Amino acid sequence: MAILAGLAVVFIASHGPPEDESRSVIGNYSYWAVRIATESLLFFVTRSAIESYFKPQLSFAAITGFAVFLSHAPFVLSVTAIDIVLGYPELGMQGGGGPQPLLSALLWEMLYLADNHAALCLLLSMPRWICMQSEQPPSLLETDTPVTLLSSLDPPLNGAIIWIEAQEHYVRIMTTKESRLVLARFSDVIRELSNIGGMQVHRSHWVLESAVAAQRKEGQSLKLVLTTGDVVPVSRSFRQQVQSAFEF
């Protein structure tokens, strides 16, 4: 940022119209160095203050925009003071119309300097913006959700999974809207469904707990009635676990 500010000093001092033709080259560069340093400091202080209070709520662009706007008036007042001390009030806008009222002159100076101030502040913000872009995490496709058996199905499953059944080397997956036979291991599919609130109730059956509507006892056997009307058997080894989970 200091390099960018220095380049701005060199460019403006070498190409901009001098405020006083009697001023030496060193004096001209010194004038613009002080002016741009003052402008940069006011912008950075204002941006830092806004970030400390509003960073979680505002984006970098919004913070930068507010900092440009809020630092403009202090910058104009500072430059006006510098020019008055050096004998150049109104930043070269005097002449032709005679003396202007103080408030009117200040407003004209603010308008006259608005685009220059915005351009310099945005230029000084570029390194920060570039660093933020390089620090952003990769896209969601690269980081968030690993490719799994269920997520790789083509076409994707339609509806929420409520019941799966092992059938030799295949697994039948029942959803609220379809039934599909998939070549997969039953244990692998159960592992992928471990975080959606279901349980294995039989060596060949898994159900979504919220899809169980009732229990049905038929002699020594126990079965679960799903909200879809399907009936799922419960094996003896899972019976106690199922009865503890579903209290009808």
Average pLDDT over residues 31-46: 85
To the question of pTM greater than 0.75 for the whole model, the response is: no
**Which of 208, 178, 182 is CA-nearest to residue 193?**
208
Residue 148: pLDDT band (50, 70, 90) is confident
Tens digit of pLDDT for each residue in 223-237? Answer: 999 998 999 999 999
- 219 torsion bin: left (phi>0), alpha (psi -120 to 50), beta (else): left
Confidence of residue 135 (pLDDT cuts 50, 70, 90): low
To the nearest whole percent, how much of the chain has pLDDT over 70?
A: 75
pLDDT tens digit sequence for 174-220:
999 999 999 999 999 999 998 888 999 999 999 999 999 999 988 88
pLDDT over threshold 80, residue 140: no
- Residue ranges and CATH numbers for the domains of the chain are 2-136 (no CATH), 161-245 (2.40.50.1020)
By the 10 Å C-beta count (0-12 exposed, 13-18 middle, 19+ buried), 122 is classed as middle
Percentage of the chain exceeding pLDDT 90? 28
Residue 29, SS3?
helix
Q: Any idea which residue has 């910058």 for tokens?
A: 75
Angstrom distance (rounded) from CA 175 to CA 164: 9
- Whether the link from the prior residue into 155 is cis, omega within 30° of 0, is yes
- What are 55-81's pLDDT values in tens digits? 666 788 888 889 999 998 888 888 878
Rg (CA), the chain: 36
Distance CA 206, CA 130 (A): 50
DSSP string for 66-130: HHHHHHHHHHHHHHHHHHHHHT-GGGG--SSS----HHHHHHHHHHHHHHHHHHHHHHHHHHHHH
Convert the pLDDT of each residue in 10-24 to its tens digit.
Answer: 445 444 444 445 556
Nearest to 20 by CA among 11, 31, 10: 31
Instruction: Work out the pLDDT band at 123, boundaries 50, 70, 90.
Output: confident
